[in-house]
Amino acid sequence: MSGIVVVGAGQAGSSCVAKLRSLGFEGRITLIGSEPVPPYQRPPLSKKYLLGEMELERLFLRPESYYGEQGIDLRLNQNVTAIEPDARQVIVGGSPLPYDELVLTTGSVPRRLPAGIGGALQGVHVVRNLHDVDAMAPEFQAGRHLLVIGGGYIGLEAAAVAAHRGLKVTLVEMAERILQRVAAKETSDYFRALHARHGVDIREGVGVERLTGDTHVSGAQLSDGSEIAVDFVIAGVGITPDTALAEAAGLTIENGISTDGQGRTSDPHIWAAGDCASFPWRGQRLRLESVPNAIDMAECVAENIMGANKAYVPQPWFWSDQYEVKLQIAGLNSGYDRIVTRPGDGEGHVSFWYYQGDNLLAVDAMNEPRAYMVGKRLIDAGKTADPAVVGDPASDLKALLKA
């Protein structure tokens, strides 16, 4: 037998191969990664690792020795250049590698600013992998001026780290408010005020016309006609699923690599999981960009390769750390028509509950782990919560779980 080949050595790839071994798969497993280090956590990259509070080895999901001990052929610093479905093989370093089953966990790639507006200048960074963060780390010196482009969670987290390090920070967001694509106005207002208290200059409804400089960025011309001098730039303008290999191989692409409810692509011997994959959910096609989804979907794929015939049921949750605030999000807020606000126990402690009619969809909880826990358990169980009870800070949230 040729065994199982997993392309993409991130959270999903590492979770898939570990699950296969734990389920008793005894055949050959090959995990191929384009980076020179074993699979690692990405969320701490732009926070604790960038701040110097976490060593490289602590980022690793498992010690490098784990893969050898489990008989997993971990191939680092290698790129798969093609998939040949008819021959059931991938091309790695110019040589064919056969497979019985192939799993694509290729993740996503950051959108970059066009070279025509200065995106190729030195000092213009994105935040996605270890190389990106190592490249920008020397820039974080107190007193320097950082321009962050994009008011999503990536941009806001980068701004928080920079402000914490004593940098002057300007953040521009082309939409009318930060977090507009992913959160309610209440959450946007909360984080705008939080960043303002830490000295971040947030400009909404403002885009970048062009970045200026000879070889290194030195300034920016903004769409409101203003110009600012900057020392470096972080572009947090979104990510796209990495589907290039799958598309070249003729697999169906629909908001990522299209899979069925079990993680199988349009080719019966090729599977996909994590950021790169979309799957059917409640009458729509969903793609989630989160660590929990990468783990859960990859493990479900491993189970199905082993014959479980199991549908993937996502239980969406996310988080973001900014300054002293931990945001925890449960559920998906698409389609909400009202927000119920529940004050917390201290200053800056609050949760926003998203409803469609009387149906609870999602919860944004800022320094409110109890509200997050209750909301998540209700959403996972397909239950709702009386908006009047949620909005009354004197009510016992845990009682909702017994209803």
pLDDT per position as a tens digit, 25-50:
999 999 999 999 999 999 999 889 99
Q: Which secondary structure element, helix H or strand E, spans residue 302, and what is its range?
A: helix 291-305
Strand partners, 354: 339, 362
Helical axes 185-197 vs 153-164, angle rounded to 10°: 20
Same domain, 225 and 370: no
Same domain, 95 and 8: yes
Provide the CATH number for the domain around residue 268. Answer: 3.50.50.60
Q: Which of 219, 235, 251 is the last residue of a domain?
A: 235
Same domain, 131 and 196: yes
Any domain includes 311: no
Any domain includes 185: yes
Query: Which residues 6+ apart lie within 8 Å of 12 measured at CB?
Result: 105, 107, 273, 274, 275, 294, 295, 297, 298
Residue 119, token pair as written in the block: 């995106």
Tell me how crowded residue 262 is: count the other CB atoms within 10 A of its CB.
17
Whether 151 has a pLDDT exceeding 90, the answer reads yes
Same domain, 195 and 294: no
Average pLDDT (306-334) is 96
pLDDT value for 47 = 87
DSSP per-residue codes, 70-107: TTEEEE-S--EEEEETTTTEEEETTEEEE-SEEEE---
Q: In angstroms, rounded to a whole number, what is the distance separating the alpha carbons of residues 265 and 278?
A: 10
Question: Which range (37-41, 93-97, 343-347) has the least confidence?
Answer: 343-347
pLDDT value for 282 = 87
Q: Which of 200, 235, 270 is the last residue of a domain?
A: 235
Q: Which of 305, 333, 348 is the last residue of a domain?
A: 305
pLDDT value for 30 = 98
Same domain, 136 and 228: yes
Q: In angstroms, rounded to a whole number, what is the distance separating the alpha carbons of residues 48 and 54?
A: 5
Q: In angstroms, rounded to a whole number, what is the distance separating the alpha carbons of residues 395 and 32?
A: 52
Any domain includes 166: yes
Split into its structural domains, the chain has a count of 3
Q: Are 350 and 325 in contact (CB under 8 A)?
A: no
Same domain, 165 and 253: no
What stretches of 130-287 show up as alpha helix (H) in DSSP? 130-136, 153-164, 185-197, 244-248
pLDDT value for 49 = 93
- The fraction of the chain above a pLDDT of 70, given in percent, is 100
Same domain, 165 and 144: yes
Same domain, 169 and 155: yes
Tell me how crowded residue 163 is: count the other CB atoms within 10 A of its CB.
20
Same domain, 211 and 358: no
pLDDT value for 176 = 98
Domain span including residue 347? 324-402
Provide the CATH number for the domain around residue 364. Answer: 3.30.390.30
Same domain, 393 and 332: yes
What stretches of 173-308 show up as alpha helix (H) in DSSP? 185-197, 244-248, 291-305
Any domain includes 315: no
Any domain includes 397: yes
In Å, how far are 35, 111, 154, 157 from 321, measured between CA atoms? Answer: 26, 22, 10, 7
Residue 164, token pair as written in the block: 């914490």
Any domain includes 157: yes
DSSP letter at 264 equals B
Tell me how crowded residue 274 is: count the other CB atoms within 10 A of its CB.
35
Any domain includes 314: no
Closest to 276 in 3D by CA, of 1, 16, 91: 16
Render pLDDT for 369-401 as a digit per residue (tens, 0 to 9): 999 999 999 999 999 999 999 999 999 998 888
Render pLDDT for 196-253 as a digit per residue (tens, 0 to 9): 999 999 999 999 999 999 999 999 999 999 999 999 999 999 999 999 999 999 999 9
| Residues making up the chain, counted from first to last | 403
Average pLDDT (97-102) is 98
How much is the mean pLDDT over the chain? Answer: 96
Render pLDDT for 326-340 as a digit per residue (tens, 0 to 9): 999 999 999 999 999
Q: What are phi and psi of 78, to 5 degrees?
A: -125, 145
Any domain includes 313: no
Same domain, 17 and 123: no
- The fraction of the chain above a pLDDT of 90, given in percent, is 95
Query: Which residues 6+ apart lie within 8 Å of 135 measured at CB?
Result: 125
Query: Which pTM value belongs to this model?
Result: 0.95
Q: Which amino acid is at 166?
A: G
pLDDT value for 345 = 86
Same domain, 360 and 289: no
pLDDT value for 77 = 97
